[in-house]
Homo-oligomer: A and B are copies of this chain.
Amino acid sequence: MSSKYKPIPHGTITLPQGFLAGATYAGIKTEGEHLLDLGILCSEVPCIAAGVFTTNKIKAAPVVLCQERLARKRAQAIVVNSGCANACTGEQGITDSAEMADLTARKLGISPQEVLVASTGVIGVPLPMESLRTGIEGILLSREGGHQLAEAMMTTDTFPKGIAVSVRLGGKEVTIGGAAKGAGMIYPDLATLLCFLTTDAAVDASFAQTALRKAVDDSFNMVAIDSDTSPNDMVLLLANGLAGNKPLEAGMAEAEIFQDALCEVCLYLAKCIAQDGEGATKLIEVKVEGALTLKDARVAARAIVSSPLVKAALHGGNPNWGRIIAALGRSGAEINQLKIDLYLKDICLLKAGCPVPFDKEEARDVLSNPEVAIRVCLNLGKESATAWGCDLSEEYVTINSAYVT
């Protein structure tokens, strides 16, 4: 988080005006897991809505439903469950997602078309609709429900991920809130699993979509836990306009301020996801500078942060820079081997492609921190990009060998 946008202490997705949330345990997740598993987020008034979805060609039923409904660029509520992804569930899955929306709409007294649906959890298992019917019925919505909603989204996450920031736009105080989940099956395009964003800003619908896409590209799409992409990934933005600002459109100075704040919120949540990667003990930041093109910088940073061998070396506190260079070399980015500089925090490991003697104890010290920064200078151009990920531990394997089918 830059100094410009201080997160509001304990800020959640219900901090922007007019948003309510609540959650319950409906019995979808099995015992021993985090207890809330079903939640509703809603606005007191209809919202402009935007969404970014998984690029996986296998799309879960809730993704199909949301993509359809977002053609209207409007929504007023989101219902979300964890413990069951409702993916690879055929026609029944689509029917079940639609019923989740219907039940929520009836409870809130709004049109089913105004309700978006998200699910996360095990693939290939039908939703336990009886539990959902009772569960949705029993949810209590309040202005304080944001934290509960973030908890209800969790699967293998070890902590709920929420934030809110405020900015002034043309004399009006505007707030953006966010909640996210995601700890495994995380790879850019899209890296999130689930993220919901709320704001009381008034925004033009097409600006909302482009602003969301840009924020996602620079944050969630630059996070990698493993190289798997979920069929359920989605980032949804609801903007209810209650702040009373002049509606934001592309080109307005206030729109740029809003865009920056939205990026910061997404970045904060994306880094939470990286930090909470399954089995992770360290947050890894890889910055690639001096690339010929932005695409080169992005693919290089992502390849390094995704490399199992780099991740395992960093887990062991092992400054094995050869693996970083090998991952860079296979990334597809344009490089000149004899121009590459490589830094671990401030320690130079490689200069113009040649190894630089370094203090291994100092390097091990740097690697023993919970946050590790790697910087690669390609010295070919002016583009740069940053990616985030985590180390690869034995625990990642243990978690994913045991996970229930």
Q: Determine whether A185 belongs to the interface, using a CB cutoff of 8 Å to chain B.
A: yes
Residue among A59, A227, A328, A329 having the largest count of chain B Cβ atoms under 10 Å: A329
The contact of A405 among B312, B319, B335, by CB within 8 Å, is B319
CA distance A350 to B124 in the complex (A): 9
Q: Across the two chains, which residue of chain B brings its CB closest to A317?
A: B401
Q: Smallest Cβ distance from A309 to chain B, in angstroms?
A: 5
Interface band, chain A: 35 or more
Cα–Cα, bound, A380→B353 (Å): 47
**Which chain B residues lie closer than 8 Å to A313 at the CB level?**
400-401, 403, 405
Give the chain B neighbours of A231 by CB distance below 8 A: 325-326, 329
B337 touches A58 (CB 8 A): yes
Judged by a CB distance under 8 angstroms, whether A320 is at the interface is yes
Q: In whole Å, how far is A84's beta carbon from the nearest beta carbon of chain B? A: 11
Set of chain B residues within 8 Å of A330, measured between Cβ atoms: 55-58, 187, 228-229
Q: Which residues of B contact A338 (CB under 8 A)?
A: 90
Q: Please tell me if the beta carbons of A57 and B403 are within 8 angstroms of each other in the complex.
A: no
Give complex CA distance A231, B142 in Å. 57
Chain B residues within an 8 Å CB radius of A337: 57-59, 88
How far, in Å, is A60 (CB) from chain B's closest CB?
10
Q: Does A398 contact B (CB under 8 A)?
A: yes
**Residue A315 is within 8 A (CB to CB) of chain B in the complex:** yes
User: Which residue of the partner chain, among B230, B319, B397, contacts A326 with CB atoms under 8 Å?
Assistant: B230
Asked if A355 is at the interface of the complex by the 8 Å CB criterion, the answer is yes
Contact with B along A153-194 (1 / 0, CB 8 A): 000000000000000000000000000000011010000000
For the A-B complex with A56-B326, A184-B309 known, give 7 more contacts whose Cβ atoms are closer than 8 Å.
A57-B329, A85-B322, A88-B322, A124-B322, A228-B309, A230-B326, A312-B401
For this complex, 5 residue pairs linking A to B, each with C-beta atoms less than 8 Å apart, are A56-B326, A57-B337, A58-B335, A229-B326, A316-B401
Closest 9 CB pairs of A and B: A123-B322, A316-B401, A58-B329, A312-B400, A394-B394, A56-B329, A229-B330, A226-B308, A90-B354
Residues of A within 8 A of B (CB): 55-59, 85, 87-90, 122-125, 184-185, 187, 226-231, 306-309, 312-313, 315-323, 325-330, 333, 335, 337-338, 350, 353-355, 360, 392-394, 396-403, 405
